[in-house]
């Protein structure tokens, strides 16, 4: 594992000096070679799918694992899209001159080696590589054993794309030992890994917390709320709640919980119950007294990210109570208020502690593409380094460059 | 420990909403009450010093531990200086409008609860509190057992300063259980701690890597180099090397290693050997062949942060070799080149991988105050969140505020 890390680090040193145009050429070349390798990738993927089926893997996981020609083309298109984004490297973030004449500049530079541990989707191999290369970082990838053949075939094409433009193949290093022991070792390569981004469920996060000594950014859960204020336009509120819950229930920025101000609960709840036909609603006593179609909320329902057609419902006595409810049960991801009252919007946006707070908009907008980042490596719910959707900028760090004329410190 | 964390978090919620003027009043009031408590603080400090002496603690450590009226006044002055800095909270970092009309703003907000583990200097109690309060964070502090009485007396005065302006006393929580077990528990309070900054030696850092599950920023070692290029003004180079080594050898931005281009080694080394009279020099064969006063470098000398009047010396065959030497042995802290050659300066600043790279200036300038930050909580050698001197800005995070007019995602 250390030998792989050493290769990854050596490639990062070369990448950090490669002009943006060369990195963009490598992305284009990797996209072309990936498409040209479609048959080989699909054959490898067939092996993985067959293995997963034989192992009794669930249909949902097999769907995530399975590739077809369209999905391979989509990966290639993703690489071309990333190539067209602005280069984050070399940007002068800020700069100033000190009273003694010393010039201080803060320059955006690559992190170096970005390690990513991910689960069954093989497209992450290509997506992560694209974002890392665009930001001049080595992608040091550790996928799941279920997708190993697919990942190897994809990585082979991408590495050939690097070599075709004279960049080191090791700007993409794929770990092929998919054992738990190897994962733990991977998370401790402090000498070689500058940032680890785990993309997976609670078991992976727990393993990172227990084992990792490398710096990491956690892509956390989203127990997202929509709060319908006393001053909400109820048509707007119904549209937003329906969009936040229904447009894609399985993603982290989908709403899991509805909080309604008591002054509008009697008028709003029956409407939204109809609108959310097919969604299992579980709520507190106040909501159930108004809409008996709402079932009783069990212990923990208000703190659960369902990722399914299920939603918790609470009636809040006041704006304050709603904010407290959101801060207590939320996971710091994306929280929305629907209101026409400026003071309520101000209170909610100031006091709710989350990566993103939305006013009169669906939580579903909290996403790198929707924010205009062009690409996304995840959504951070931690507060250090990156908070919210992570694009290319979050795959960089800065370096101070200080220029004097023989300055010494008194 | 969890109960302390809960108190710290509750106070952070209040602080996050407190106007900057109120936080500044609290700093002023804390400074006044700390000065007023000088006798009590010094009496407590006497107990600590007596305990340390009885335990056979080294004179250096006892000097760090010992307070006098001047040091207490300096702490109070530090609080007043921090109060006068610009408030980082609420700054709109950036903002834009998406094609669909959605407005996205990124706002600077406090981290919440900042935990600091530190060793014997009791002034850290006051300094850390000042920076945390200015940035609207709770200071959750765990000092050493040797300084416990001093820290308690200081914290009592500072907490009274908070209460005097109506802020919660728990915006400063001092952990009084100074056992190793308590430290390990402290590092795992993910529910309550938003950022941990350990300030101490290698044993503390190792303990953080082994135990911490809370997010942390490491304040690392500085094995800093000065590279004297072939195109250096040798008078300037001698001034910079002497300043970097001699002005304060015990700090992390002091130079530990001198690298000289072979073209100027014969003229520069004898001069700098004279100039560094009293410094133990250890070097490679090439340097010793020129200046026999340089002793042989032992295994590891080039990778050692001496923090003393000792320096390693190497002759580099080329600029490339010098850059490789610096990247190999350096700790990513502060690295300087002395040169009159623009191309050499460009290569060095681009390719050296460190928090700060200096051209024709002493490494000693890498410091929050010298950079104009007004205050410093440490110098980060990691790449995530903060790199280089950390001031108030590095004690904040951001929150996205997204405003629509009923926007739903298609």
How is B32-92 classified by DSSP, letter by letter?
HHHHHTHHHHHHHHHHHHHHHHHTT--HHHHHHH---HHHHHHHHHHHHHHHTSPP-TT-E
The pairing of beta strand B334-338 with beta strand B280-283 = unpaired
Distance CA A175, CA B348 (A): 33
- Domains in chain A with CATH codes: 2-220+385-403 (3.40.605.10), 224-369 (3.40.309.10)
Contact B209/A at CB under 8 A: yes
Tokens 């992390």 map to which residue?
A: B252
Q: What is the 3-state secondary structure (H, E, C) of A24-71?
A: HHHHHHHHHHHHHCHHHHHHHHHHHHHHHHHCCCCHHHHHHHCCCHHH
Q: To which H or E segment does residue B346 belong?
A: helix B342-351
Closest to B268 (Cα-Cα) out of B237, B309, B246: B237
Distance CA A217, CA A382 (A): 7
Nearest CB among B13, B239, B372 relative to A406 is that of B239
The alpha-carbon gap from B178 to the nearest alpha carbon of chain A, in Å, equals 23
A71-75, A279-283, B219-223, B397-401: which range is least confident on average?
B219-223
CB pairs under 8 A between A and B: 200
Contact A40/B at CB under 8 A: no
Q: What is the pLDDT along chain A (410 residues), one digit of tens a residue?
A: 999 999 999 999 999 999 999 999 999 999 999 999 999 999 999 999 999 999 999 888 898 899 999 999 999 999 999 999 999 999 999 999 999 999 999 999 999 999 999 987 899 999 999 999 999 999 999 999 999 999 999 999 999 999 999 999 999 999 999 888 999 999 999 999 999 999 888 888 899 999 999 999 988 889 999 999 999 999 999 999 999 999 999 889 999 999 999 999 999 999 999 999 999 999 999 999 999 999 999 989 999 999 999 999 999 999 999 999 999 999 999 999 999 999 999 999 999 999 999 999 999 999 999 999 987 888 999 999 999 999 999 999 999 999 999 999 98
For chain B, how far is it from start to end, CA to CA, in angstroms? 47
> Does pTM top 0.90 for this prediction?
yes
C-alpha angle with apex A291: A287 to A297, nearest 5 degrees? Answer: 50
The pairing of beta strand A255-261 with beta strand A310-316 = parallel
Residues of chain A positioned with their CB less than 8 A from the CB of B359: 401-404
Tokens 């530090």 map to which residue?
A: B78
Contact B240/A at CB under 8 A: yes
The residue of chain B nearest to residue A400, with distances taken between CA atoms, is B356
ipTM: 0.93
Is A361 close to B406, i.e. CB distance below 8 A? yes
Distance CA A147, CA A57 (A): 12
Question: Chain A window 325-354: which residues touch B at a Cβ cutoff of 8 Å?
Answer: 327, 345, 349-351, 353-354
The residue length of chain A stands at 410
């Amino acid at each position: 594992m250390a030998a792989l890390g050493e290769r990854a680090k050596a490639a990062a040193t070369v990448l950090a000096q490669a002009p943006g145009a060369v990195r963009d050429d490598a992305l284009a070349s990797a996209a072309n070679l990936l498409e040209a390798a479609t048959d080989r990738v699909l054959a490898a993927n067939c092996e993985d799918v067959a293995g997963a089926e034989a192992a009794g893997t669930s249909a949902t996981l097999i769907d995530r694992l399975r590739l077809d020609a369209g999905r391979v083309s989509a990966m290639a298109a993703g690489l071309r899209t990333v190539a067209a984004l602005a280069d984050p490297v070399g940007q002068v973030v800020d700069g100033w001159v000190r009273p003694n004449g010393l010039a201080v500049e803060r320059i955006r530079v690559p992190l170096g080696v970005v390690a990513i541990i991910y689960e069954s989707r093989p497209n992450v191999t290509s997506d992560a590589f694209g974002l890392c290369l665009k930001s001049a970082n080595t992608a040091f990838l550790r996928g799941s054993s279920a997708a190993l053949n697919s990942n190897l075939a994809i990585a082979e094409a991408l590495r050939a794309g690097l070599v075709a433009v004279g960049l080191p193949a090791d700007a993409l290093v794929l770990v092929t030992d998919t054992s738990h022991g190897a994962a733990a070792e991977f998370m401790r390569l402090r000498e070689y890994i500058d940032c680890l981004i785990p993309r997976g469920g609670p078991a992976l996060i727990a393993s990172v917390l227990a084992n990792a000594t490398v710096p990491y950014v956690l892509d956390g859960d989203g127990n997202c709320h929509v709060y319908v204020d006393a001053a909400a336009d109820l048509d707007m509120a119904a549209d937003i709640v329906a969009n936040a819950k229904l447009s894609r229930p399985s993603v982290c920025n989908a709403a899991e919980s509805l909080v309604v101000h008591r002054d509008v609960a009697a008028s709003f709840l029956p409407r939204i119950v109809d609108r959310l036909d097919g969604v299992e609603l579980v709520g507190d006593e106040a909501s159930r007294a108004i809409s008996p179609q709402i079932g009783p909320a069990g212990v923990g329902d208000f703190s659960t990210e369902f990722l399914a057609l299920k939603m918790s419902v609470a009636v809040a006595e006041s704006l304050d109570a709603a904010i407290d409810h959101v801060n207590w049960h939320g996971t710091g991801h994306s929280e929305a208020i629907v209101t026409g009252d400026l003071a309520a919007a101000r209170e909610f946006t100031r006091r709710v502690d989350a990566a993103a707070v939305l006013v009169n908009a669906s939580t579903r907008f909290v996403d790198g593409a929707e924010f205009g980042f062009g690409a996304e490596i995840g959504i951070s719910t931690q507060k250090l380094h990156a908070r919210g959707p992570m694009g290319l900028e979050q795959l960089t760090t800065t370096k101070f460059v200080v220029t004097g004329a023989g300055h010494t410190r008194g």
